[in-house]
Structure 1
């Protein structure tokens, strides 16, 4: 008998393919969705400063773009769970891509009319599509193979997500931000309505280009799943959201997983949001130069996720996450207390520590949920709101310098931005506790 077939249960994960051959094409198309929403997430972040300049908005008004984006995630995650529970994962992908296409095409009339509120509506619809895609695709990937390789399979799919993020950063920089007119607020105020309208028209054209261009890719994926008949009807049972939620909150692995995901997403978005400000403040660089450190951080995130995905064949994912959470705490403290040159590289290293956390928390929390996995997936996607809650808290700390006294070696803006990284310390601590509480026990 083949030695692989007679291997022990403990070695089963080593011989079981991460993605069975019959699911390879579906897996690749789902990975394309992971890349798409990663790209759009990071590209949309740059719409805040872009809209601020184009429409001459104050920071609070420009940030309504993020409110529309994350608000849509919160509103549509649960309806997405109902949709895929009643029908199928395939239906969820089709609806999610469809909403993205509608939202992206909405940028065209918004640009023609130069209407910020119409852009916000389009962002809401577009983000709703991404929310449905995330709620659908993560458990869909988990279902494409053996349960014992589910976390590795999800990490593999998620490994392509930051490639999309990096692409989104580059596209935003060269297609959107580089095509903004350098005219200041005061100079725009002094312009005639006709001249200002001409400038806005060109700027909004370049805002539309990447979003509308990506519709072609979304349509290709949509057509594939439309023609695919592998999952016409889901047989997971009747829909009872209230009953499902009651069951889920009684499962510690899941309930704590939602909390951990909230804090993880909060730390990811917060750290990435304030990386450039930290570098500018501590190294005295301009925004363009400081963004180089942000790109290095994203690249380290990508590389470490790929390495971690490979190592999960030999090391339990929850153990790896605990190690990286400890690393996140240590590097966050380094960002607060170490001298400038070392502290900036600690800031970059934080991104490396975050690399495996989202898909690992996701996989651990959804393990063995059975028919409740889809409602459970919605809860984990709704936890993305952590980014909208924790990021402004960290920003408020930077603005007020309320904890500057914990960094006596620095003063002013440096002390304020450094002390704000106490928030990531707390967030990583929550992830550490979760990973230790729900380590996978090896079978005998």
Structure 2
């Protein structure tokens, strides 16, 4: 009978905690991709520019950036389980804040709510991956982590489905039609579009809060609740470890590459509906279908890319995929129309291995700096905030097609990171990733 190394508890007794933590991968996948629905919804309901609507992602990923290090600090001091509970409570609180934001018809209130949700996700993503590996026997850790990760794209698809089915109305009025309405009818339209988010997010908040209670009152193995400081090698303080990481140029370049990767991924998915509206003439509800195709391509690319890595260097694959995506972004900018839309969908296939590959190659050889290095890589997710806003600005100054030139530049940085990798650095395995 296999046992948990930390507590001697039979591994099968960790089944319930494994189920509870596996669900977290579903929850944050859902939250991330619901943002891609909120952008066109808020643009319509609040009459926003592309830059203003892109602030949905800016507020969201700012939460990751600001809370990543506090999450790592809490995890080191109080253990994984405490970090999970804090993350779930913040997630639920942010979802509940959607109700008063809709009642008050305040876009800035929604941005605040999204910041709170993302703050919770920073705790969840920092703790869930390592936690799932200690819930049971060590020889099954990789299996548990891969199984948990399988629920992340399911959450992403659920987020798109919830948004398409219960938030997007498919009703769109051009400026002429809006001007022809009475003031009362126009305001009623805006209010109905804003309030469409209330019930879905209320239900999400209730479910997530209930999940926090289940985690709180469930018995976990000792490894989930003990101090999570490094147990081997030279002990390095939290802030001292940050200082040491700044003397690792390859790691720092990895942080930069991750910043631009997340910006590219978030930018493509955030403006895909907008691209379909402008380039093909689809309504928001129909354009959202292309997000399903993109996520399916993303999942397929994960399997294909992982299989390739058994034969080829991860950095070589990363570099080639980045170059291919530069070409696809150029096609989206130059060709436009349905061809450009399919180029955006195809890019998800080649993005699929980028986050975990950059992550794994960046932390290779960090030793007892690995946990702190991982939290800095999570902070690089702020690329989704900065570059999505830049895309919105470019779109407002020109058009949505031209904004994807920003993404082409992002893939250029990733290609540079990949092709300048030092020879002989081995990466045994890629970490699971939600991005």
Q: Same fold (TM over 0.5)?
A: yes
Match of residue 95, structure 1, among 86, 90, 104: 86
How many angstroms does 1:264 deviate by?
1.0
Q: Which moved more, 1:358-367 or 1:125-134?
A: 358-367
Distance in 1 separating the partners of 2:164 and 2:375: 32
> Partner of 1:81: helix, strand, or coil?
helix
Distance in 2 separating the partners of 1:369 and 1:228: 33
Q: Is the 8 A contact 1:270 1:390 kept in 2?
A: yes
- Deviation readout 1:162-184 (Å, 9 max, x if unpaired): 33222212211221121878696
> Partner of 2:169: helix, strand, or coil?
helix
Q: Which moved more, 1:391-400 or 1:161-170?
A: 391-400
The corresponding residue for 2:3 is none
Distance in 1 separating the partners of 2:364 and 2:212: 28
| Structure 2 portions without partners, runs of 5+ | 1-10, 429-435
The corresponding residue for 1:44 is 35
Match of residue 221, structure 1, among 171, 188, 211: 211
How many angstroms does 1:282 deviate by?
5.2
The corresponding residue for 1:13 is none
Q: Is the 8 A contact 2:251 2:362 kept in 1?
A: yes
Distance in 1 separating the partners of 2:117 and 2:407: 32
How many angstroms does 1:288 deviate by?
5.1
How many angstroms does 1:256 deviate by?
2.6
The corresponding residue for 1:120 is 111
> What is the number of residues matched between the two proteins?
410
How many angstroms does 1:283 deviate by?
5.0
Q: Which moved more, 1:75-84 or 1:206-215?
A: 206-215
| 1:63-212 mapped onto 2 (5 Å cutoff) | 63-141=54-132, 157-178=148-169, 186=178, 190-192=182-184, 202-212=192-202
- Deviation readout 1:234-253 (Å, 9 max, x if unpaired): 24168844212112223345
How many angstroms does 1:208 deviate by?
1.6
How many angstroms does 1:24 deviate by?
5.7
> Partner of 2:196: helix, strand, or coil?
helix
How many angstroms does 1:431 deviate by?
4.7
Distance in 1 separating the partners of 2:154 and 2:30: 8
The corresponding residue for 2:257 is 260
Q: Is the 8 A contact 1:260 1:434 kept in 2?
A: no
Q: Which moved more, 1:127-136 or 1:182-191?
A: 182-191
How many angstroms does 1:389 deviate by?
2.0
Q: Is the 8 A contact 1:96 1:129 kept in 2?
A: yes
- Tell me which of the two structures has the higher relative contact order, counting C-alpha pairs closer than 8 angstroms and 6 or more residues apart: 2
The corresponding residue for 1:6 is none
Distance in 2 separating the partners of 1:432 and 1:249: 20
> Partner of 1:46: helix, strand, or coil?
helix
**2:419 matches 1:433:** yes
Q: Is the 8 A contact 2:33 2:159 kept in 1?
A: yes
The corresponding residue for 2:349 is 352
The corresponding residue for 1:271 is 268
The corresponding residue for 1:405 is none
Alpha-carbon spacing, 1:165–1:121, altered in 2? closer, same or farther (3 Å): same
| Structure 1 portions without partners, runs of 5+ | 1-19, 402-412
How many angstroms does 1:394 deviate by?
3.7
> Partner of 1:136: helix, strand, or coil?
helix
Distance in 2 separating the partners of 1:336 and 1:382: 29
> Partner of 1:219: helix, strand, or coil?
helix
Match of residue 409, structure 2, among 417, 423, 432: 423
Alpha-carbon spacing, 1:34–1:436, altered in 2? closer, same or farther (3 Å): farther
Distance in 1 separating the partners of 2:400 and 2:36: 24
Distance in 1 separating the partners of 2:12 and 2:24: 20
> Partner of 2:22: helix, strand, or coil?
helix
Distance in 2 separating the partners of 1:181 and 1:191: 17
The corresponding residue for 1:7 is none
Distance in 1 separating the partners of 2:47 and 2:208: 32
How many angstroms does 1:137 deviate by?
2.1
Q: Is the 8 A contact 1:336 1:422 kept in 2?
A: no
Match of residue 229, structure 2, among 208, 213, 236: 236
Normalising by structure 1, we get a TM-score of: 0.76
Match of residue 360, structure 2, among 345, 363, 373: 363
